[in-house]
Structure 1
Amino acid sequence: MARIIQGMSFAQIPVSDGGVLIVGGGLVGASLAIALDAAGIDAILVEAAAPRVDTLPSHDERNLALARATVNGLTRLGVWAHARDAAAPIRRIHVSRAGEFGAARLDAREEGVDALGWTLPARALGAALLRRLDACTRLRRLAPARLIGIEPRADGWQARIDIGAGELRVDTPLLVGADGTDSQVRGWLGIEADVHDYRQSLIVATVASERPIEDRAFERFDDGGPVALLPLAQGRCGLVLSVPADEAAAVAALDDAAFAALAQRRFGWRLGRLSRPGRRHVYPIRRVVARRLTAPYAALVGNAAQTIHPIGAQGFNLGLRDALTLAELIAASAATGDAVRLHDYAARRAPDREGTLAMSHGLIRLACLAQPALAPLRSLALLAWDRLPPLRHALARRGMGFRGRPPRAVLEDWT
């Protein structure tokens, strides 16, 4: 069983040396810790919040669209067995733009799979990860704890960690920043990041639809940004509505009838009338991209490496592939923080990372620009996607998470 160390004095905890130190116990950091434990590698996970679903900030109200590759990886980690009952399959995807002709469709049957992905509430995934963490045998968890400094060593780093009752010093051959968009680790390593503020916020809620959404996911664009409806296990729809940042608070505060009417105008009538919206939650949208994934004896994963626009729902999917690739390379090396392995990590992640970043940023700029001259080109692009099977299959493969050289844990026989 993984040991959770909290409320102990410094004298009670021995200084650790030789284990991978993961800073950040969110969805990606926890996944990396589990992958290392499964590979028989010692690790320490530093979690800022107590390890409970109701306290961890990444276990929030979002509904995650998990790519097929992601579910493959979670299955191999032993996590999916704890989450699948709360998940809804996505077998068909429909993409369109308001006021323009043409639509793009993907169908799992055409790709020879049972589902393109699954929708899962972030809280359900968080709970599944916590259950799997409890079964780890090579992992120590410091929670709640906070990294307060790092110092270079000849063969790694020494980290200073505030555990509440005192300060713990940990020597590690590999420091991993999994501490989110505003990563403290990234800053201390001297890795700069490029930041773009979309001046938009996401409003996340659930709604009921007059016609059942079944196993379909919808993404619709207009001049205000993307709107998505995702299938949920209980038959409701997960709504993701982008609005200008300066309007987000007012939109979230609308009464149910007014909010449902706004969602209806933005999404349209493909599922009939939308009604009975649930609680609304607001998330600002920024793009924060680290200029490097590695530093000496250190690596970044997940949102610490790149936080992208949620269009296409690629954020956690991309981050999990970071974690599984890094774990795979660590497991293959006798020297955990070896510079060659870290170079391999950056090189392995480059095609997937750069392709996903380009898709995310380019699509939001192209699909949501209010320029009439672009309308015919956008419509033709959607028609080409829909009518050209080789293009459709290539896009489906990438959307399912099989881009570049994926980690082995996400692969299946047909890839």
Structure 2
Amino acid sequence: MIFSRSDARLRARPGSRTLVAALALTFAAGVVSPPVAGAAAGAGSGASAVLPAPTGPHPVGVDTLHLVDESRADRWRPEEDREVMVSLWYPALAPSDMRAPYTTEAVSAAIIAGHGLALPGDTLTKVTTHSFAGAPGRPAPGGRPLVVLSPGAGLSRESLTTLAEDLASRGYVVAGIDHKYEATAEFPDGRVTECLLCDEASSRELGAELSRGRAADTSFVIDELTRDRPAWSRAALIDQTRIAVAGHSLGGSAALTAMATDDRIDAGVNLDGTFQTSAAEAGLDRPFLMMGAQAHAVPPGEEGHDETWPREWDHLQDWRRWLQVCNAGHMAFTDLPVLADAFEVPGLAPTPDCENPRVGELTGDRSAAVTRTYTGAFLDQHLRDVDSPLLRSPSRHYPEVEFHG
């Protein structure tokens, strides 16, 4: 399967186009419920949302980059060169005059119209970010670590904005990729490309192919940011010797694939993604974090068992952690819960699966806190040599996070 097995109820339906596909959709036993008329009741034309504030000391700047790989044909349109859109979040000296929009009007309208959501077409443009377009970068001695983010299948790079902004505020350069035709995306010439992946039937073969394709996209972006004449005007901010990849769902699988094929990558994170490829041949000799919902630990023979997590766990030969998050659905590691709470969209919360009485509902803000805190601690430890007690054992401050290994 391309989507994680961790919560079939919350996967985007076939034909879903991008970030808020699940806002008006729920799944039950793999059956899609129709869009809910009036699902956004109370979220009228003036509704807005504010992403959780970053926790680091730095203001956040953001640039957008359009990259074309003339050496590769696009898997979805072989007559076209492969191209990607990239958002680059980075520590800034000071805020600029313009706060960056969450997404463009065209992408927001395509999402809303494509799903019959009872929301104005420009709803997602009203999401307030904490990034400032074109703000001057804040250099650091020796440069700053680079983290490349890959979103889930059918999800745009915007879906990981909350995580990206937090990492940038803490001193990282973060490159979020839109994989063309695998989510709705808008290009500088005004083209809005649709999600062709979303109309494909899931299969192991397709999942492996897409994971390898995303790994190639990741390596291409690293190439463009680190070559002698880099594609980004602020590339001097980057320390080319400290690079990590992280992703959600299919993007998390691609993180492992990229590490297996690109030894420039020092560490990786899979956020609730079923692994589509394997590190079985040689194993993986660099640090890797697996963080996901409870369902990945379902025993063999029981419904929902994901054999890929225990399989790849055994192939990790360096530092490794497997963290389970109680009451988390598949989308808990993205911006989606924050947006659903803000726009009062029902039907998104996963069924509670945690028997720990100290753990309550995983709200959007709490989901963001868990994802950002543990991902940040992992990256600090392995890209900055900052030891984190949080990664040694369960924390009373985060009772919903359990150590599987």
TM-score clears 0.5: no
Give the structure with higher Rg (CA). 1
Structure with larger RCO (C-alpha < 8 A, sep 6+): 1
Indicate the structure with greater helix content.
1
Q: Provide TM-score, normalisation by structure 2.
A: 0.26
| TM-score normalised according to structure 1 size | 0.26
